[in-house]
Amino acid sequence: MYGTQSKRDLALEFQSQIPILRPSIHSRRANLTVKFQDLYGFTVEGNVDDVNILNEVREKVREQGRVWWALEASKGANWYLQPEVSNGIVLKSSLKISALANAITLKKLIRKGIPPVLRPKVWFSLSGAAKKKSTVPESYYNDLSKAVEGKVTPATRQIDHDLPRTFPGHSWLDTPEGHAALRRVLVGYSFRDSDVGYCQGLNYVAALLLLVMKTEEDAFWMLAVLLENVLVNDCYTTNLSGCHVEQRVFQDLLTKKCPRQLSECGIFFSMRGLRFYFT
C-alpha cells in the first residue's frame, strides 16, 4: 500500500486523519472587541456578547417603560404623588386605600428600575426637589447664576481644575457646552451653601444628575435636595464627618452580617470606602 503512494499522498492522508482544531464561533466572538455607547452616552468597550447583554437590558428597560406608561394612562400622569407612607404605617389619617396601593405599587416598580425617559420627572418629584424649588422665586437659579458669574473663589478655582477630569471622553460632558453647564451648577451651589462650597467628588454627582435630569436647573435642585435633605449632614463639608458616620455604620453592618468576608480582606473599610461615598 505504502509502496505505491508518493510521500505527498501519504502526508495528505495522514493529515486528513488528524482532527482540525478551529476556534469555535463563541471564542471568536469573545475575542472580537467593539466600542459602543450606553444609554447615557458613555463609551463602553466589550465583545459581541457584551453588546447582546446590553441589548437584553435595553429590552427589559423598554418592558418596564410599558408598565409605567400603562399606569400613567390608567391612573393619571402623577399617580405616584400621594401622601407619604413609611413601613406600611399611614402618616396621614386622610390617606385612602387607593393611595396606599399606589405607594406599594410604586415601591415595587422602583426596585425594578425607573425607565430612563421617566427618571427626570419621577426623581424630581419623589426626591423633594420639586418641593424645595417651589419655596423660592421661579427665577432663583437664573438669578443666582448671573449673580456669581465672573466671581473667583477657592471653590471656583477647584471646580475649573476638576472640569476636564470629570468623565473625560464623554460625548457631551467633555465638551465646552458640557463643561459650562456643569460649572454653572457647581459654582451656583457653592455660593448657595458656603459650608459645603465645593468638595471634590461633587463634580461626578452633579455630572450624572445633568445626564439624567437633562436641564441645568433640575440638576441643581436635585443636587440641593441630596446634600440638604437626603444625605447625612456634613458629607461634603471640610471635615467630612458625615462620610465618616456613613462609613462607620456600613462597617458595623458588615461586621455583623459578613464578619468572615470582612476579616479576610484584612483592611479597614474606611481605607477603601471614602471614594465610594464621595461619588
Average pLDDT in the 235-260 region?
Answer: 72
Q: Does the domain made of 144-230 have the CATH classification 1.10.8.270?
A: yes
DSSP E strands, 66-220: 85-86, 89-90
Domain boundaries, the chain: 57-129, 144-230, 241-278
Residue 95 has pLDDT above 50, yes or no: no
Q: Where do we find the cell 467630612? A: 240
Cβ atoms of 162 and 200 closer than 8 Å: yes
Read off the pLDDT of each residue in 154-183 and give the average, rounded to a whole number.
Answer: 96
Q: What is the pLDDT of residue 48?
A: 80
Question: In the prediction, which pLDDT does 80 show?
Answer: 79
Instruction: Report yes or no: 207 and 182 within 8 Å, Cβ to Cβ.
Output: yes
Please report the pLDDT score of residue 108 as a whole number.
Answer: 87
Is residue 128 within 8 Å of residue 225, measured between CB atoms?
yes
What is the rounded average pLDDT for all residues in the chain?
79
Phi-psi region of 254 (alpha: psi -120 to 50; beta: other; left: phi over 0): alpha
Check residues 272 and 216 and name the one with the higher pLDDT.
216
Is the pLDDT at 275 greater than 70? The verdict is no
pLDDT of residue 111: 87
* pLDDT digits 0-9 by tens, 14-66: 454 444 444 455 555 556 788 878 878 888 888 888 888 888 888 888 898 89
Give me the pLDDT at residue 206, please: 97
Answer with the residue of higher pLDDT: 135 or 95.
135
C-alpha cell at 29: 466572538
Q: What is the pLDDT of residues 177-211, one digit of tens each?
A: 999 999 999 999 999 998 888 988 899 999 999 99
* pLDDT attached to residue 33: 82
Q: What is the DSSP letter of 2?
A: G
What is the reported pLDDT for 88? 45
266: left (phi over 0), alpha (psi -120 to 50) or beta: left
What's this model's pTM, rounded to 2 decimal places? 0.74
What DSSP element (H or E) covers 158? helix 154-162
Determine which of 43-47, 92-96, 249-253 has the lowest per-residue pLDDT on average.
Answer: 92-96
Q: What is the mean pLDDT of residues 59-85?
A: 81
Distance (Å) of CA 4 to CA 1, 11, 14, 17, 60: 6, 14, 15, 19, 67
Confidence band, pLDDT 50/70/90 cuts, at residue 2: very low
- What percent of the chain shows pLDDT beyond 90? 36
User: Which of 57-71, 93-107, 122-136 holds the top average pLDDT?
Assistant: 122-136
Window from 6-10, 76-80, 233-237 with minimum mean pLDDT: 6-10
